[in-house]
Amino acid sequence: MNLTILTLFPEPVEAYFASSIMAKAVARGLVSYRCVNIRDFAVDTHRTCDDAPYGGGAGMVLKPGPLAAALDSVDASSVRTVYPTPSGIPLRTPLVHQLAAERELILVCGRYEGIDQRIIDRYVDDEISIGDYVLSSGELAALVIIDAVYRRINGVITAESLDEESFEDGLLEYPHYTRPETFASARVPEVLLSGHHEQIRAWRMEQRIAKTRRMRPDLYQAWLAQRDDKE
């Protein structure tokens, strides 16, 4: 997948792609990326990219001119373009799968109060929210989306790891344990030490169901409904 990130602050994006799994994925040619600095498309001496909102109110809004020029430079009209925003649709696993199927993606990182609505109307295909809260940095939200999507790219992480992750079948993941067997008087569950793979699978499923029912009753009810439909 080829990814283009439009941002005023490329440093956190560059740092992310220089780290661990993503750096290896880039080195192996599984994914590629480029950062486009929106400020490079400002036309005034001070490279201004924001201004006060019409109608008044707190904060600043990213100006349409530099954003449009930056988007035109990467041919945004022919590539699926994503704008992370708290007012977007929730980022869920099915949407992650959709985005991962694209050969190219563009992400527009907002700042301050957001970006001019005319840019959204003209260029943006998906407004996506990573949660019901507000961040100061659009780059952080974009990186959450990128990380979720890139994990689905074939070869970035193992297929086994993906199959056992939370949400893939509607349930949360089971608890994990590693050495030592006893820590602060708490022991690893005996079944995990037994070597009986069927018993371990059954225990893990029980834990997943119980955890989902306790932590995410909404997901639990959806899982029950899906199971009943299959039966």
Residue ranges, comma separated, of all CATH 1.10.1270.20 domains in the chain are 166-230
Whole-prediction pTM: 0.91
End-to-end CA distance of the chain: 38
Residues 6+ away with beta carbon under 8 Å from 67:
6, 38, 41, 49, 108, 115, 116, 119, 123
Angle at 164 between CA 162 and CA 168, to 5 degrees: 75
So what's the pLDDT on residue 210?
98
Q: How far apart are CA 96 and CA 48, in angstroms?
A: 34
Chunked into runs of 10 residues, the chain (231 residues) has average pLDDT values of 98 94 94 97 96 95 98 96 98 96 98 96 98 96 97 85 76 96 98 98 97 97 90 70
Q: How far apart are CA 31 and CA 14, in angstroms?
A: 14
The CATH architecture of the domain made up of 166-230 is: Orthogonal Bundle (1.10)
Residue ranges, comma separated, of all CATH 3.40.1280.10 domains in the chain are 2-150
Choosing among 3.20.10.10, 3.40.50.720, 3.40.1280.10, 1.20.210.10, the CATH entry for 2-150 is 3.40.1280.10
Residues 107 and 145 sit within 8 Å (Cβ to Cβ): yes
